[in-house]
Structure 1
Amino acid sequence: MKKLVLSAAVAALMGGAVQQAQAADYVIDMPGQHAFVQFKISHLGYSWLLGEFTDFEGTFSYDEANPSAAKVNVTIDTASIDSNHAERDKHLRGDDFLAVDDYPQARFVSTSYTPNGDGSGVLAGELTLRGVTKPIEIDVNEVGAGPDPWGGFRRGFEGNVTLTLADYGIDYDLGPAAKTVDMYLSIEGIRQ
């Protein structure tokens, strides 16, 4: 009887250890430049303006056995905007757009994740930009997960979301086609 009780206790502990091993925390790999926050916006309706934020950090938690428990937290240095044109970037950092002197950071904190069962899902959360916090939903796809060549473990996702600029107090007139900006996120995390 003692062996049966001991076996059950060991099995319960092992089961808990396996469950804990599946849930993992990741740090976004910015130092290795394996993560990107990019944007695309219409310029006067005639062409596309592309750019990115080059300085951000964040973490996420993900459990393959319970993907709906996923959590994400990202902070972006808004002054790191780079559209490959110094004068335009200066304008984008100014009061007409990001007002980086008053609002040096943008932040996204997830509130829920709804998986579709095929590696994709919808990540809901709160985006704070220019001091305004609004709920957004990001369409997410898992890119992959596995060991890296340095003895670690990595997991990657990509996501897309369209933001309405006026929602965040940005109303500079670049024509009707430039009322929204498309964001593309490519995130690779290193398991901690």
Structure 2
Amino acid sequence: MKRVLPTLLLAMLGLNSPLHAADYTIDTKDAHAFIQFKIKHLGYSWLYGRFNTFDGSFSYDPSKPEASKVQVNIDTRSVDSNHAERDKHLRREDFLFVEKFPTATFTSKKVTVAADGSMTLTGDLTLRGVTKELVIDVDKVGEGKDYWGGYRAGFTGTTEFKLKDFGIPMNLGPASEVVEMTLDIEGIRN
């Protein structure tokens, strides 16, 4: 009887069932998350790159995905376009100006869920000291138990924005005004 009463009380209060969103840490330690970008180079080809160092977390409940929240911090000094000299240029004042703005952040404000399960994540991106609202189209990749006794959830998202909207002064011509970003995020439930 002593064990039944606490269990019954917890069930009545709803405390033994997942009523709230679970919190996840983005798995950057084992490289299961990526922030990548591409931009046209003078309109003739695509330049691809990524940020190697970032961290963050998200809150997610599959029964109420519209209540999800996301926070990501990006070390802009970790920009990597697979070309050391270009990366030095991307870190200077005419692009990311990492000496003055070593961190970019994204903080979600709202999640909208479509009938097909896809989501739109709206939040504030702060880059080069400028904060603008950004919309990311998100699809859930999957979720479930992992081989190490944990639980994971993964999402992919895409967005784009104009460089000048974030005070990036370098102008490579009209074909190179917009950067496209892909975010592949896998989180480990805390």
Q: TM-score, normalised by structure 2?
A: 0.93
Aligned-partner Cα distance in 2 for 1:163–1:181: 6
Paired AA for residue 146 in structure 2? D
* 1:150-179 Cα deviation digits (max 9, x unpaired): 000000000000011000011312121100
* 1:93-121 Cα deviation digits (max 9, x unpaired): 00010000000000000001011143311
Paired AA for residue 37 in structure 2? F
* 1:12-61 Cα deviation digits (max 9, x unpaired): 23x332133x6200000000000000000000000000000000000000
Give 1:164's aligned residue: 162
Residue 16 of structure 1 aligns to a residue whose secondary structure is coil
Q: Percent identity?
A: 56
Aligned-partner Cα distance in 2 for 1:36–1:44: 25
Aligned-partner Cα distance in 1 for 2:107–2:167: 20
Distance 1:144 1:7, change over 3 A: closer
Aligned-partner Cα distance in 1 for 2:156–2:26: 12
Aligned-partner Cα distance in 2 for 1:49–1:11: 55
Give 1:68's aligned residue: 66
Paired AA for residue 16 in structure 1? L
Aligned-partner Cα distance in 1 for 2:139–2:179: 20
Give 1:3's aligned residue: none
Residue 50 of structure 1 aligns to a residue whose secondary structure is strand
Higher relative helix content: 1
Distance 1:31 1:8, change over 3 A: closer
* 1:66-96 Cα deviation digits (max 9, x unpaired): 1111000000000000000000000000001
**Correspondent of 2:89 among 77, 88, 91:** 91
Give 2:12's aligned residue: 12
Aligned-partner Cα distance in 2 for 1:58–1:7: 35
Q: Which runs of 5+ in 2 are unaligned?
A: 1-5
Matched, 1:32 2:30: yes
Q: Is the 8 A contact 2:11 2:17 kept in 1?
A: no
* 1:110-151 Cα deviation digits (max 9, x unpaired): 001011143311000000000000001100000000000100
Aligned-partner Cα distance in 2 for 1:10–1:103: 48
Residue 30 of structure 2 aligns to a residue whose secondary structure is coil
Q: Which runs of 5+ in 1 are unaligned?
A: 1-5
- Show structure 1 runs of 4+ deviating over 6 A: none
Aligned-partner Cα distance in 2 for 1:47–1:8: 64
Residue 60 of structure 2 aligns to a residue whose secondary structure is strand
Aligned-partner Cα distance in 1 for 2:160–2:79: 17
Residue 15 of structure 2 aligns to a residue whose secondary structure is helix
Aligned-partner Cα distance in 2 for 1:155–1:68: 15
Paired AA for residue 17 in structure 1? N
